[in-house]
Amino acid sequence: MLKTVLINAVEAGAAEILRFFNNNFKVSNKEGVNNLVTEADHASEKAIIDVIHKQYPDHHILSEETGEIILDSNYKWIIDPIDGTINFAHGIPLNCVSIAIEHHGEIVMAAVYNPHLKELFFAEKGSGAALNDKKIRVSEESRVIKSCLVTGFPYTYINTPDGPLEIFERFVRKGVPVRRLGSAAIDLCWVACGRFDGFYEHKLEAWDSAAGYLIVEEAGGKVTDLAGNKFSVYQHKVLATNGKIHDEMLDVINNRKEL
């Protein structure tokens, strides 16, 4: 039942994305530069929460736009109704619905759905990860210099020492291709299915990373913070890789070695 509700919820949110995509909708700005929220974000979020609460009215909700709906339950649904809102607002079809389910403090199930590409990623703790019901695995690349990486840039503190621009430069000056798609959930899923070998970012929220984190791990990858510590969705920094390039990426990110 839990999986069915999860899939129904991501599909309900995705239907709202498609309904508004490349149509007229209201756009407003949250705190900070380029921190957009659209009418579609709210519509997707409402559709998702309606599906969840129809079956599980007592489950805790953490969602990007609403915040926390705290109820007396050991289950928490961590929701990003549109991950990649700026892409969405500009008609770029790299955006998705991202939902993770936390039980007793552990992420146990997750789904990420990009309806434009019709790609539904799913993972359950201990059961592997899938794309459109076909099992996926991370890549086999063992050297960072031969890897294809992906990252994102925060809109604040981008110029800090050892920050996003400096680390980006360490890779690209050595010829490593580093992409920037604009959706952390998609970035993580594309690591999980082997399209990218590694992903790092400095400032993510729980709703950005929770679903993709489980999908990467269940596809055989490794996820830590940028210091190499155990990952928590409630801290901001993430490194997700195929596992084989993880330590080398940590060394470059932390300026312990050059490529």
Residues 160, 125: one domain?
no
Q: Model-level pTM greater than 0.75?
A: yes
Give the domain range for residue 233: 144-253
Q: Is residue 117 part of a domain?
A: yes
Residues 39, 157: one domain?
no
Residues 121, 24: one domain?
yes
End position of a domain, from candidates 82, 101, 135: 135
Domain harbouring 110, CATH code? 3.30.540.10
Residues 108, 211: one domain?
no
Amino acid 39: pLDDT: 85
Longest alpha-carbon distance in the chain: 53
Residues 166, 208: one domain?
yes
- What token pair was written down for 39? 């009418």
Q: How far is CA 169 from CA 159, 165, 191, 244, in A?
A: 12, 6, 21, 22
Which pLDDT tens digits describe the chain residue by residue (259 residues)? 899 999 999 999 999 999 988 877 656 555 554 555 678 888 999 999 999 999 999 999 998 766 666 666 899 999 999 999 999 999 999 999 999 999 999 999 999 999 999 999 999 999 999 999 999 999 999 999 999 999 998 776 666 777 888 999 999 999 999 999 999 999 999 999 999 999 999 999 999 999 999 999 999 999 999 999 999 999 999 999 999 999 999 999 999 999 9
Amino acid 35: pLDDT: 53
Q: Is residue 258 part of a domain?
A: no
Q: Please state the domain count of the chain.
A: 2
Amino acid 161: pLDDT: 76
Residues 27, 116: one domain?
yes
Residues 129, 15: one domain?
yes
Residues 25, 59: one domain?
yes
Q: Is residue 153 part of a domain?
A: yes
Amino acid 119: pLDDT: 98
Amino acid 23: pLDDT: 76
End position of a domain, from candidates 105, 135, 165: 135
Are 123 and 109 contacting, i.e. CB atoms less than 8 angstroms apart? yes
Q: Is residue 259 part of a domain?
A: no
Domain harbouring 196, CATH code? 3.40.190.80
Q: Is residue 175 part of a domain?
A: yes
Q: Is residue 66 part of a domain?
A: yes
How far apart (Å, rounded) are the C-alpha atoms in residues 35 and 116?
Answer: 22
Residues 128, 15: one domain?
yes
Where do the H-state alpha helices sit in the chain? 2-20, 39-55, 85-89, 164-172, 184-192, 206-218, 246-253
Amino acid 149: pLDDT: 98
Residues 120, 43: one domain?
yes
Burial of 30 (0-12, 13-18, 19+ CB in 10 A): exposed
End position of a domain, from candidates 135, 168, 203: 135
Residues 126, 12: one domain?
yes
Residues 28, 47: one domain?
yes
